[in-house]
Structure 1
């Protein structure tokens, strides 16, 4: 009886937590179906006049389709940048785990220090560096900084120690494989769950990145979705029709996150259980 009560309590708490998590998404879904009058005249958790198609058409037509330019920018920043960042993190974590050199632990301590520094604190120094390099208000001003991910390096080192046995690497070297070939042919396939785990963390962080693009960019054609939707929301005070554009655009902006997590979650789960089975 006590066991059933405990299980019921845990399940009830999990259901409440899930409902709380899905509450903003539910509001977004309901609100995106409403016209501007219905948005203020109906309940937040009720469908309006099913105006979703018209809202999507308005989003597509606003600013000669600037929303889809923002969408493409976010895909490039988060997709390509996240993949390169994950690869760099895996390579660095592998090197920290499998190689020995003078000052390795001190350097790794600096990496851990980078984990503790909030990204907003680095925005101004990055802007000054980009200004010196002539990269302000360019694609590279946002793309290059996201390639460095200190937490990814730390996580890759931990996962490398659990996934890549040293004996396998020694066997490859004994067969004449060089270090580069050993990494890409032997270690990297073993570290696929680690790569995907780091990619998912970084993809989400870059997709939601707001402050760095805000500091670096002034050209709307370079905006990611986060900054573009913010610009629309800022105009909603003077032009209320931007309210429905912002809500519908926000609904569309979560689709890639759902797709990426849906396709890659099995690798992520494997990454979270690294080393649990020997």
Structure 2
């Protein structure tokens, strides 16, 4: 004969007692407060990084005199906007040489960035997935090259290229830009985790060669790392200043960075030089637009779906 209490089945706590117990248990605190402070911190960082770009954009809309005595202040527009006039000035000043510099920067960045990415992918994949004699020592030398400042290599590079007669040519900028020790390191580290050895072994069992495994299995998995190295290489080559300054003497071979520096030197000369501060700020603003657009267009490759199409 079963014994049943007034609260329900045997061994079950009464409903009113369970309700009172639940009311006494405090609700778990959510991460709301932490999110608020993290959002505030990120907002401060965003303002810190966007403020120089905003100043550059505002300065590009001002005339030469408006940069110093304008009514809008350094962070706001003047009553009279001169952006289109400044663009026309870039096309006429010194025969429109600015757009030649812009084309040179685009050529140097594209060729150097793509070439450095290809070499980094090949070398990084080889370091990660193949065992060969001297592998550890070679990778240690690569890590040592990452720690060497690029400016310290300019003079040895100048002496080396001068022996081959490549100084004051486009190759004096492109060839050194093809070497990216940091890119090789990033590809190697990413390949070790993103490309499982079991996946490659399964492809070998199915009869796939090493070239086919690399192009059809490894490359789709390495897409985020490839885009990252490409952007880093392109930005590094586009912003390169000291190397073309030391290698190039022909004004028509200069990139934007060195060309605008020459205009700045002339403007700093005072009465003896031509004041083109408005063209310098406008040219600097135009020169950063390709980099901003590149990041905005390629950011989707950092998102999910890394193994999409590689396991088919």
Which interval holds the TM-score relative to the shorter structure? over 0.9
249-258 or 261-270, which deviates more: 261-270
* Cα separation, 1, equivalents of 2:138 and 2:35: 46
After superposition, give the CA deviation of every residue in 1:27-52 in whole Å (9 maximum; x if it has no partner). 11111111112111121112121110
- SS of the aligned residue for 1:254 comes to helix
- Note closer, same or farther for the CA distance 1:178–1:3 as it changes in structure 2 (3 Å cut): closer
Who is 1:261 aligned against? Answer: 295
* Cα separation, 2, equivalents of 1:160 and 1:269: 17
- SS of the aligned residue for 1:30 comes to helix
In the alignment of these two chains, the number of paired residues is 273
Contact 1:93–1:157 (8 Å) recurs in 2: yes
Who is 1:93 aligned against? Answer: 124
TM-score between both structures, scaled by the size of structure 2: 0.83
Who is 1:227 aligned against? Answer: 258
- SS of the aligned residue for 1:203 comes to helix
- Note closer, same or farther for the CA distance 1:270–1:107 as it changes in structure 2 (3 Å cut): farther
Who is 1:77 aligned against? Answer: 108
After superposition, give the CA deviation of every residue in 1:132-159 in whole Å (9 maximum; x if it has no partner). 1110000000000010100111110011
- Residue 19 of structure 1 pairs with residue 9 of structure 2: no
TM-score between both structures, scaled by the size of structure 1: 0.92
- SS of the aligned residue for 1:50 comes to coil
Return 5+ residue gaps in structure 2 as ranges.
Answer: 1-28, 308-312
Contact 1:137–1:218 (8 Å) recurs in 2: yes
Who is 2:159 aligned against? Answer: 128
Who is 1:53 aligned against? Answer: 84
Contact 1:59–1:245 (8 Å) recurs in 2: yes
Contact 2:266–2:275 (8 Å) recurs in 1: no
Contact 1:193–1:270 (8 Å) recurs in 2: no
* Cα separation, 2, equivalents of 1:168 and 1:6: 41
* Cα separation, 2, equivalents of 1:11 and 1:185: 41
* Cα separation, 2, equivalents of 1:3 and 1:171: 44
Aligned Cα RMSD in Å?
A: 1.9
- Residue 206 of structure 1 pairs with residue 237 of structure 2: yes
- SS of the aligned residue for 1:144 comes to helix
| Deviation, structure 1 residue 269 | 4.9
| Deviation, structure 1 residue 71 | 1.1
| Deviation, structure 1 residue 170 | 2.2
Return 5+ residue gaps in structure 1 as ranges.
Answer: none
2:133 to 102, 106, 114: 102
Who is 1:248 aligned against? Answer: 282
After superposition, give the CA deviation of every residue in 1:228-251 in whole Å (9 maximum; x if it has no partner). 111111111233531111100000
* Cα separation, 2, equivalents of 1:270 and 1:231: 45
| Deviation, structure 1 residue 199 | 0.6
| Deviation, structure 1 residue 3 | 5.0
- Note closer, same or farther for the CA distance 1:186–1:136 as it changes in structure 2 (3 Å cut): same
* Cα separation, 2, equivalents of 1:189 and 1:181: 12
- Note closer, same or farther for the CA distance 1:264–1:251 as it changes in structure 2 (3 Å cut): same
Pick the structure with more helix per residue.
1
Contact 1:82–1:199 (8 Å) recurs in 2: yes
- Residue 159 of structure 1 pairs with residue 187 of structure 2: no
| Deviation, structure 1 residue 93 | 0.6
Contact 2:248–2:254 (8 Å) recurs in 1: yes
- SS of the aligned residue for 1:102 comes to coil
- SS of the aligned residue for 1:18 comes to helix
